[in-house]
Structure 1
Amino acid sequence: MESRAEQPPRRDWRDTVRDGADLALLGILTVLASAPVLTAGAAIGTASAAVHDWLATGSWPTARQIISRFGRGLLPGVPATLLGLAAVGLLATNLTALATGRVPGGGVGLVATVVVAAALLGYAAAIVVEVGRTGGTGWAAAVPRAARTCLDHPATCAALAGTSLVAVLLGVLVTPVAVPILAGYALAAVHAVARRRPLTRAELS
């Protein structure tokens, strides 16, 4: 029988508050680091790696590790940022055009576009999780791994899509000053979903 001394300490409300504050700070720092736009890929990758470490080990990476990961992820993150912005812009344009009736398709086209956008959100979330598992870099390698995961385990992609869609809707509904805080919670949520469902494992680069 395990002795009392060997049992892990029981978590209480103070641990929950501390975790919430950590995630809020992570979201704020991620948004600030993404402000120059082209650094968004490195910021998101670094934050994803930090969340992965926290969930896997129970502790956050050191400031030195975070800065090192951010520096290594700057150049690899630029193409990911540009592609992400292009995809968001294209989807937003299509949704606006369908919703205002400027292009044919009506309700059916609008629903189809929303479904495609949700699926892409799930795919993007899978990519972000994969990047976090490889230390915040490796965007190019994460793309095919995430695609393979979504094809082999559509339920995983659907769960990630649903989680990401809820985060986006909350981001629209809450006051703008709370959006950076929400970013940290959204990252933790997609990582938590991925840990409950199988994603392709990758070695640290």
Structure 2
Amino acid sequence: MTTVSASTDAVPAHPASARADWRDTLREATDLALLGFAVALAALPVLTLAPALATASAALHDRSVTGSWPDARTSLARFGRALPAGLAVSAVALAAAALLAADLVALATGRVPGGGLALALTAVVVAVLLGYAGLVAVAVGRTGGQGWRAAARRVARACPERPGVWAAAAGICALAVLLGVLVTPVAVPILGGYALAALHALDARRPVPAPDPS
């Protein structure tokens, strides 16, 4: 009578899947907070806001693709390359933001007729534009922090095709602005890092194309 012995090698071992614990979550939250402070520090001259955002967006893209942050030398080099075009982008964006803010203040204080409806419509327009700008920043990060004009065109074509993503991006940016008004000023850079990370996570949820029936 032959005895069949079961070998332990016959059934491959299934290692337990790695699960993120509270330390990984805390580390990730700390990294995003530091990223926000780095953006705020680099944006102190005001016109360097766009290059700072582009560099941070590129770092977040690297983090999502490779699982690690770029080193300081890479980020500094990206920031330097982003400066020429980024200065012009910052000037245009800040001018538009100032005009929209003045419009909102004028409507809220009653200096411009229109009432609550006009104020609400203007707030929605501002949120939609912020969502578009946030998605452009994400697209710039996917190209190493450069190519603002090309990124703006790509996002302008993609937003009507993905209205849900556009609306969600607008919600993220509007919530970040609202919380930025309510919290202490020292926490505003932290909100910026979290909002940019949320925009990257949102944009990464691309729809999977349906298979060709043929």
TM-score of the superposition, structure 1-length normalised?
0.91
Q: Which of 93, 107, 112 pairs up with 1:103?
A: 112
Structure 1 residues 147-191: Cα deviation after superposition (integer angstroms, max 9, x where no partner)? 111122111110100111111111111110111111111110111
Match of 1:87 in 2: 96
Residues in 1 aligned to 2:83 and 2:77: alpha-carbon distance in whole angstroms: 10
Q: Which of 24, 28, 31 pairs up with 2:33?
A: 24
Match of 1:201 in 2: none
Q: What is the CA distance between 1:41 and its match in structure 2?
A: 1.1
Match of 1:203 in 2: none
* C-alpha contact (below 8 Å) 1:156/1:197 kept by paired residues: no
Match of 1:116 in 2: 125
2:70 is aligned with 1:58: no
2:177 is aligned with 1:171: no
Residues in 1 aligned to 2:178 and 2:154: alpha-carbon distance in whole angstroms: 27
Q: How many residues align?
A: 197
Higher helix share goes to which structure?
A: 1
Gaps of 5+ in 1: 199-205
* Bigger CA radius of gyration: 2
Residues in 1 aligned to 2:12 and 2:141: alpha-carbon distance in whole angstroms: 35
Q: What is the CA distance between 1:8 and its match in structure 2?
A: 5.3
The 1:104/1:18 distance shift into structure 2, 3 A limit, reads same
Give the AA of the match of 1:15: D
Q: Which of 187, 199, 202 pairs up with 1:190?
A: 199
Residues in 1 aligned to 2:179 and 2:116: alpha-carbon distance in whole angstroms: 23
Match of 1:135 in 2: 144
Gaps of 5+ in 2: 1-10, 208-214
Q: Which of 133, 148, 165 pairs up with 1:156?
A: 165
Residues in 2 aligned to 1:64 and 1:55: alpha-carbon distance in whole angstroms: 19
Match of 2:190 in 1: 181
Q: What is the CA distance between 1:193 and its match in structure 2?
A: 1.0
Give the AA of the match of 1:110: L
Q: Percent identity?
A: 58
Q: What is the CA distance between 1:9 and its match in structure 2?
A: 3.0
Residues in 2 aligned to 1:108 and 1:33: alpha-carbon distance in whole angstroms: 38
Give the AA of the match of 2:84: L
The 1:164/1:3 distance shift into structure 2, 3 A limit, reads farther
Residues in 2 aligned to 1:95 and 1:197: alpha-carbon distance in whole angstroms: 34
Residues in 2 aligned to 1:10 and 1:143: alpha-carbon distance in whole angstroms: 37
* Stretches of 4+ aligned residues off by more than 6 angstroms: none
